[in-house]
Chains A and B, each alone.
Chain A
Amino acid sequence: MTICNACRYCEGYCAVFPAMEMRRTFTKGDLVYLANLCFDCRDCYYACQYSPPHEFAINVPKLMAELRADSYSEFSWPIILSGLFKRNSLAVALITGASLVIIFVLVLGFIGRDVLFATHLGEGTFYRVIPYAAMTIPPLVIALYGLVVFVIGAVRFWRASGGVLSDVIDFQAFWRATQDAFGLSYMRGGGAGCNYPDASFSQSRRWFHHLVFYGFLLDFASTSMAAVYDHFLGWQAPYPLLSWPVVLGTIGGIGLLIGTSGLLFLKWKSDRDPAEERMLNMDVAFLVLLFLTSLTGLVLLALRDTAAMGTLLVIHLAVVAGLFITLPYGKFAHVVYRYAALVRYAIEQRRTESS
């Protein structure tokens, strides 16, 4: 880092370098903050006159990814579960598999195999396979639990990076950070794009990430809409093809399918030298899970009027359960910490400009 600070050639690529230059020495919290500002675009790695095989062996993206992976487990709660970050894809696979088995066994035990394999038509059919209470209460509990873990994580991050509580009441900074996050500004790499998957510049990673990001948001909107329909308007799923939940969900699902497969393809082809094993592992686990969620969702939509519906519903819900249970203990954490880092950056930059 002192080498970067003495060189500064990469200043125009992203927020990490300007933030770094405001410091002469780095506390551990500073490093965690910088690591979470890093978007792993790798522009600086290929531009670096000191990257390996130079004896200085500078590899900023790898170092940042290591620190990031450390920070995810360190700030997570309870600390006993932070091990889930270590072999993330294994953990994710086991938890999702377990959800599948448990849901299947419960459905078979309490509802019976006839219902599971029958053809259902009309309103409220999903609840015939999985009762209303079972479909609403556990997800709520899981979601609330995830929220608690992330709030704790965000507070820990904020403290470690030297922030105080009063900083948080800075709407301008939040607005700036939100713009940067929604536009994926820094994935533009100063206009050049990422050096991803190899040393050539490309915007493909940014576009695929956009598809995942907005696909996820659309699916989230679809689910929220469905919840409103169900709980407040009394309309029960499944909804018609031209209803808001189905339209939003389908568009989002297709976006997710393309986005996640694109990102997985880029990761598969990507240069391993600037990569970090744990991070890559987390990336893949999360992407695969998102891919499966939208795939099973879309297949369920297509075949909901057939006898396969029951089985597909169980599979889809199991994948969704796996996704949300592991949400606080995987790559999704980057949403929280990166956003917090962007807010911190916006505050810091404004303070330097005004001083």
Chain B
Amino acid sequence: MVDLSAPFDVLVVGGGNAGLCAAITARRAGARVLVLESAIKDFRGGNSRHTRDIRYMHRAATDFVTGAYTAQEFWEDLRQVTGGETNEHLARLTIQNSEELGDWMPANGVRWQKPLRGTLHLAKSNLFMLGGGKAMMNAYYETASKLGVETAYESEVSELKIRDGEFVSALAFCNGASCEVNAKAIVVAAGGFEANIPWLKEYWGDAADNFIIRGTKHNQGRMLKELLRHGGKPVGDPRGCHAVALDARAPKFDGGIVTRLDSVPFGIVVNKNVKRFYDEGEDFWPKRYAIWGKLIAQQPDQIAYSIVDAKALPHFMPSVFPPVEARSIAELASSLDLDPQALTAAVDELNRAAQPGTFDPGSLDSCRTEGLHPPKSHWARPIDTPPYYGYPLRPGITFTYLGVTVDEQARVIMQDGRPAKNIFAAGEVMAGNILGKGYLAGFGLTIGSVFGRIAGRGAASRAAA
């Protein structure tokens, strides 16, 4: 058992990627470090346990990436997805510092593997962790423990004592008992608030009841709220969340990657009233999948159905739940509790509107519709080959954008514009500084790792001062 009454140099709240990067760095700098993780040991690591790859800047191909990914390319990609909603100074700092991660992570126990099958679009820019995010977290925890970082699980911080912009202590529930932890500096790396349904309801109303949370149930945003309550300056759209289309049968929390569904571009999507509501073939799925969560959230009862036929099946990754299968569209509709006549009509409408073209899932092909509303711009082949398949879809929330403003030393900026002396933030709780909108695969880990290390270094030197 960790003795929590002793004063620590650095308290890290949250045992995910950013928190462990901070803890390891601070410990290597000589600080006495405590990590408080709210989950049980098996579920440690927050959303990082569901990750699989990290984007980093590099100048040449290695055994694990197929080519160079320059700072300029990285920046262009980021500017494009955020539409400029980014702090360019911090963004460029993140990109520059990401280069070291290619060596730093293996030096701390992380192992790489070749890009997974079906992820070719990331083979140049992203490194894949062998075994994925949980294996990465296991490696970090082992390294941290060898270095002498102390860790307490099932320990949730409820309140921060902050005086004049200076952190004093944290009140926490540790194994059922409340305790007060003193430290000379704090690193808040406790994620966003996507698992806090009442908070989501402030922006989404009762629709939020039907949201599926892709990651940990522990991201309640309590630390974010504490920092804002104490005058931390907010950043990012409070309504903003990364929402994708998920299989509606997914568990409420921690379903991770296997519940996502890539079938949308290869068929049609209707709501519970059997109305199509968006162009399923607008663009490549990796570029579009993050808008479908929001689209479905706006439908009645926040549910939609992806309908495909036998031809479509080989073109997308299997999901964890088998599709509902039927010999006819009407039969499929009944199985999905949809109006059979209406679904048959919707499919007939698509089949009539689909223009002849050359189907090619690898390009924005010429299979489009004519006279259909909304149109289907690509991959619009008639749905006519039984058996037919249907997947129910719901919005799945990956993360939230609201965070606290930080400076280039990862210090939290207060309302008066001045940085807090000994309060640092890393990971999702400050990612909104850099990623105000949109998403780049593997970039969440980049921000968490880079700012985790900066925060760890800063907190250790603050504690030593």
What residues of chain A have their CB less than 8 Å away from a CB belonging to chain B? 2-3, 5-13, 18, 21, 24, 43-44, 46-56, 190-192, 199-200
Contacts and interface: CB of A to CB of B under 8 A. Distances in A.
Contact of B116 (A8, A52, A191): A8
B318 A49 contact: no
A11 B111 contact: no
A4 B138 CA distance: 19
A199 B113 CA distance: 19
Contacts of A55: 251
Contact of A53 (B42, B49, B134): B42
A47 B133 CA distance: 8
A56 B133 CA distance: 17
Output the residue of B49, B130, B318, B322 with the most chain A CB within 10 A. Answer: B130
Nearest to B113: A12
B147 interface: no
Given A5-B318, A6-B320, A54 B113 contact: no
Contact of A9 (B111, B116, B138): B116
B256 A7 contact: yes
A50 B131 contact: no
Nearest to A7: B258
B55 interface: no
B318 A9 contact: no
Given A7-B257, A55-B251, A13 B49 contact: no
Contacts of A191: 111, 130
10 contacts: A2-B320, A7-B256, A8-B116, A8-B117, A9-B129, A13-B131, A43-B135, A49-B50, A49-B132, A50-B256
A6 B318 contact: yes
B150 interface: no
A13 B130 contact: yes
Contacts of B132: 7, 9-10, 47, 49
Contacts of B376: none
Contacts of B130: 12-13, 47, 190-192
Given A2-B322, A53-B42, A54-B254, A44 B131 contact: yes
Q: Among the interface residues A9, A46, A200, which one has the most CB atoms of the partner chain B within 10 A? A: A9
A315 B413 CA distance: 80
A211 to B, nearest CB: 26
A48 B132 CA distance: 8
Q: Which of A11, A199, A200 has the most CB of B within 10 A?
A: A11
Interface string B112-126: 011011100000000
A-B pairs with lowest CB-CB distance, top 9? A12-B113, A9-B132, A47-B131, A47-B135, A6-B258, A49-B134, A12-B130, A6-B320, A8-B116
B52 interface: yes
Nearest to B117: A21
A56 B255 CA distance: 9
B310 interface: no
Q: Which of A51, A52, A190 has the most CB of B within 10 A?
A: A190
A11 B134 contact: no
Most buried by A among B52, B128, B256, B319: B256
Contacts of B128: 12
B168 to A, nearest CB: 36
Contacts of B117: 8, 11, 18, 21
B143 to A, nearest CB: 11
A317 B42 CA distance: 49
A131 to B, nearest CB: 58
A343 B254 CA distance: 38
Given A2-B322, A6-B317, A192-B130, A49 B256 contact: yes
Among B111, B114, B258, B319, the one with the most A-chain Cβ atoms within 10 Å of its Cβ is B258
B134 A47 contact: yes
Given A21-B117, A56-B251, A200-B142, 18 more contacts: A6-B258, A6-B318, A6-B320, A8-B117, A9-B135, A11-B116, A12-B113, A13-B131, A18-B117, A47-B135, A48-B134, A49-B50, A49-B134, A50-B256, A54-B254, A55-B251, A190-B113, A192-B130
Contacts of A8: 116-118
Interface in B130-156: 130-135, 138, 142
A192 B111 CA distance: 8
Contacts of B131: 9-10, 12-13, 43-44, 46-47
Scoring A7, A13, A53 by chain B CB atoms within 10 A of each residue's CB, the highest score goes to: A7
Nearest to A46: B138
Contacts of A47: 130-132, 134-135, 138
Nearest to A195: B138
A11, A12, A44, A52: most-surrounded residue (chain B CB, <10 A)? A12
Among A5, A47, A54, A56, which residue has the most Cβ atoms of chain B within 10 A? Answer: A47
A53 B129 CA distance: 23
A199 B141 CA distance: 11
Contacts of B320: 2-3, 6, 56
A21 B133 CA distance: 20
Interface in B189-233: none
A197 to B, nearest CB: 15
B334 to A, nearest CB: 25
Contacts of B49: 49
Contacts of A200: 142
A190 B319 contact: no
Interface in B337-371: none
Contacts of A11: 113-114, 116-117
A43 B134 CA distance: 11
Interface in B171-205: none
A245 B138 CA distance: 48
Contacts of A199: 138
B218 to A, nearest CB: 14
Contacts of B138: 46-47, 199
Contact of A50 (B111, B118, B142, B258): B258
Contacts of B129: 9
Contacts of B42: 51-54
Nearest to A53: B42
A269 B52 CA distance: 30
